[in-house]
A and B are shown apart, each in its own frame.
Chain A
Amino acid sequence: MSSSLRNFLITRIFLTIPMIWILITMVFIVMRILPGDPIRSQLGPKVSEEQAMALRERLGLNRPLYVQYFDFLWKMVTLDFGTALTQGERPIIDELGEKLPATIELTVPAMIFTAIFGIVSGAYAAEKRKKTIDYGIRLFSIAVYSIPIFFMGLVFQIIFSVRIPILPLAGRMDTLMMTNFRPITHFYVLDSILQGNWAAFRSCISHLILPSLTLGLALTGVFIRLTRVNMIEMLQADFITAGRARGLPERRLVYKHALRNTFIPILTLIGLQFAILLAGAVLTETTFSWPGMGRYLVDRIELRDYTAVQATIGVFAFFVAIISLAMDFLYAFIDPRIRY
């Protein structure tokens, strides 16, 4: 590892810390400083003022704001989220430990699908710029971007589970199978492989197809657009002209030279666009009753479980910061200008 690379990575790690700090502070501002009384909304109007005060005191909400803030920061950093107010007062960290793997299991196949499909068709559209196929691909990308992800999910449900019932409608696994399935890591696909439970594995995969396809397809629009614009720019670069002047085949120029260079800006953008993926995951999870982070968040908001809500948003913030850091590392690995 060269010293410039090491410096780059250390700088990035140090930049991630203020980012996490800002995001956690943002959660705090949204949850405590914005108008609206979480306790009142949690308990409902019927509860007496004494009971509300008691709950405030239990949650430490009667202390000065700055004390609350530092307490909040400390609890977030130590991952001490407290217990859920509803559903048997389980520690929230345990609940999130089950939900996060579900979300990851949903997003990873979606990301792989969208990256492959989006980058290939974006590059192809760039190569054929201003030809019919380019306009076709662009129209497709605008269209999938414009269709609300939950609507796309619902349409898929109607087609593939109601009209032609070949795929399950919702959930992560058949309910019957859940009874004798004991999750270890809560990545169900992984768990079923570890246990050699092939029926469960098949069930997991068939449940995964529609949600991840929906999520992946919805993101493809953005990917095609990013790849295409960056590719067009890259194809006008001097080294492509120089390669053409050396008689390198066009295909090689587009898919080897230009595309490999396009990966660098695309990768930074993936890091930033990751937010879209998570936002999409919330809607996809709600549509397909997928018991992940997003659905958990929406459920807890409905139940007014404000401790769980702030913990969930905090975990999302961590997740985003870590992905962004990971993208920077990958970026350093791909771009030799940083590596050396």
Chain B
Amino acid sequence: MNEKNTHDNDIDQEYVVPQWQLDLDRVGFVRKIFLARKWYGGDWWFVVLSAFLLLFIIIIGIFPQWFAPYDPKAEVSSSLLAPGEAPSSFVLVANIDSDIKEFKEIASSKNKVGIVVASPSSQALREAVTALNDEAKAAGEPATYNPRPIRFETLEEGLEATAAGEVNGFIAAPAELEGIIEKYPQLEICGALREETAKGFIFGTNQIGQDIFSRIIWGTRIALIVGLSSAIVSILVGVPLGLISGFISGPFDRILTLLMDSLYSFPGLILAISIAAVLGAGIGNVIVAIAVLYVPTYFRIVRGQTLSVKQELYVEAARSLGAKPSTILWKYIFPNVIPSIVIIFSVNVADAILTEAGLSFLGLGLPPDTPDWGIDLARGQDYLRRAWWLITFPGLMVSMVTLAFSMLGESLSEILNPRLAEL
């Protein structure tokens, strides 16, 4: 490539320009962004990856009903089903002589039904009774189904009691009965407690039988609403204050700066906790409590930039030509702070979503039946030993959404931050 110049050289070609750089001059905007990956490398991929992730998340947040198979607040199946696990069916065991065909026959309040203590059967019994009562109500009959549950220490004790006629029927899972029921020839399996829903749930169900997948899909909407609106409120307050404070200086600036610095140094979550505690639960209150935290962030950055832009020659020149302060602020200074606002906004939304999840986790944010990741995590904490899926999926969802926003902010700042620029 580099040879000594000879007189025959037509054009002085000293280096081989990489093809992509030549292409850069000729292509349109979209292709230019695509080609920029060669220059920005990993950061370009970070931006693209997080942009796609965000697009996906925002679509989920706007149209959760397209993705969620169930109502997030509805109890759709038995509780604490592992991901993919079908709800176990329960069967009624009764004495052959009693001639019972289905559960309904022995569900009145004068009958006794046996269960093993602290087993899933107790809940199955409860659910079956509720279902019968609902059915009766729908048919206009009085809802009077209420059999007395009798608890036994072991399955064998229960079955013996059933065989002896002490209880009218016994409820157990078919898997448990296998190999044991044969020992009691006088007992028979009368059939399922209620009709089965055979298919499982992709992320399982929680402790009250709600579909976790549907809940985290609907939780996206809550998280996005809280994250975006609180960030926007902070911008609307923090940016004008920062601009004005940096622009006019003087005692107003000093007092405001001291105030904002104090606010900034105070642990954000603790401030949000106290505001949320005083205001009470509700999505608007959460937005206010979180917005307060990020006002100082915008204020500090915008004020700092205003101070430095104010010194620039072109601003001085505009001032000497008699431009109005409002014109200078709006036309000269404001455009310069936009890139930093974009970067902080992105990181700020991520942080706001984390804070919201934290508030709900502490039980301070939203009404308790809201499909919210923080609330689900807090509830799942009680079932840590039994059901890992209760916390895992909402937790991963918070992490993913936060990751998308903060990755966008981080890589944009790497690309746009003049302090880090090389050329």
Contact = CB atoms under 8 A, between A and B. Distances in A.
Contacts of B406: 142, 145-146
Contacts of A145: 350, 402, 406
B267 A148 contact: no
Interface stretch (B18-26, B80-88, B359-367): B359-367
B358 A150 contact: yes
A333 interface: no
A147 B399 contact: yes
Contacts of A158: 384, 388, 391
A146 B403 contact: yes
Interface in B223-275: 258-259, 261-271, 273-275
B265 A275 contact: yes
Interface string B349-372: 010001001100111100000000
Interface stretch (A47-55, A93-101, A201-209, A281-289): A281-289
B267 A276 contact: yes
Interface size of A as a range? 35 or more
B419 interface: yes
B280 interface: yes
Given A146-B350, A150-B361, A320 B269 contact: no
A151 B373 CA distance: 10
Nearest to B354: A148
Interface residues of B, number: 53
A324 B265 contact: yes
Interface in A138-187: 138-139, 142-143, 145-151, 154-155, 157-158, 162, 169
A92 B259 CA distance: 28
B270 A282 contact: yes
A151 to B, nearest CB: 3
B398 interface: yes
Given A26-B262, A278-B270, A317-B266, A154 B380 contact: yes
Contacts of B391: 151, 154-155, 158
Given A150-B361, A229-B420, A316-B270, A162 B354 contact: no
Interface string B295-311: 00000000000000000
A283 B362 contact: yes
A27 B258 CA distance: 16
Contact of B402 (A31, A146, A301, A320): A146
Interface in A284-340: 286-287, 294, 297-298, 301-302, 309, 313, 316-317, 320-321, 324
Contacts of A233: 419-420
A34 B275 contact: yes
Contact of B358 (A15, A135, A283): A283
Interface stretch (A4-12, A16-24, A247-255): A16-24
A309 B280 CA distance: 15
Contacts, number: 163
Nearest to A151: B395
B273 A298 contact: yes
Which of A35, A138, A225, A277 has its CB near the most chain B CB atoms (within 10 A)? A138
Contacts of A225: 410
A1 interface: no
Given A233-B420, A316-B267, A19 B398 contact: no
A40 to B, nearest CB: 11
Contacts of A162: 384-385, 388
A151 B399 contact: yes
A22 B262 contact: yes
Contacts of A278: 267, 270
Interface in B288-332: none
Nearest to A163: B388
A36 B276 CA distance: 10
Contacts of B363: 298, 302
B280 to A, nearest CB: 6
A272 interface: yes
A142 B258 CA distance: 30
Nearest to B359: A283
Contacts of B335: none
A332 to B, nearest CB: 18
A232 interface: yes
B377 interface: yes
Contacts of A286: 361-362
A36 B280 contact: yes
Contacts of B417: 229
A316 B385 CA distance: 34
B185 interface: no
A109 interface: no
A30 interface: yes
Contacts of A130: 41-42
Given A19-B258, A19-B262, A233-B420, A309 B277 contact: yes
Nearest to B300: A272
A142 B403 contact: yes
B254 to A, nearest CB: 10
B384 A26 contact: no
B269 A279 contact: yes
Contact of B266 (A139, A294, A316): A316
- Between B259, B262, B364, B406, the greatest number of chain A beta carbons within 10 A of the residue's beta carbon is seen for B262
Interface of B: 41-42, 46, 258-259, 261-271, 273-275, 277-280, 350, 354, 357-358, 361-364, 374, 377, 380-381, 384-385, 388, 391-392, 394-395, 398-400, 402-403, 406-407, 410, 417, 419-420
Interface of A: 15, 18-19, 22-23, 26-27, 30-31, 34-36, 38, 41, 130, 132, 134-135, 138-139, 142-143, 145-151, 154-155, 157-158, 162, 169, 225, 229, 232-233, 271-272, 274-280, 282-283, 286-287, 294, 297-298, 301-302, 309, 313, 316-317, 320-321, 324
12 contacts: A19-B258, A30-B275, A30-B278, A132-B42, A139-B407, A145-B402, A149-B358, A150-B358, A233-B420, A275-B268, A276-B267, A277-B267
Given A145-B402, A276-B267, 6 more contacts: A19-B258, A130-B42, A146-B400, A282-B267, A297-B273, A316-B266
Q: Which 7 A-B pairs have the closest CB atoms?
A: A279-B269, A151-B395, A146-B402, A146-B403, A278-B267, A135-B42, A22-B262
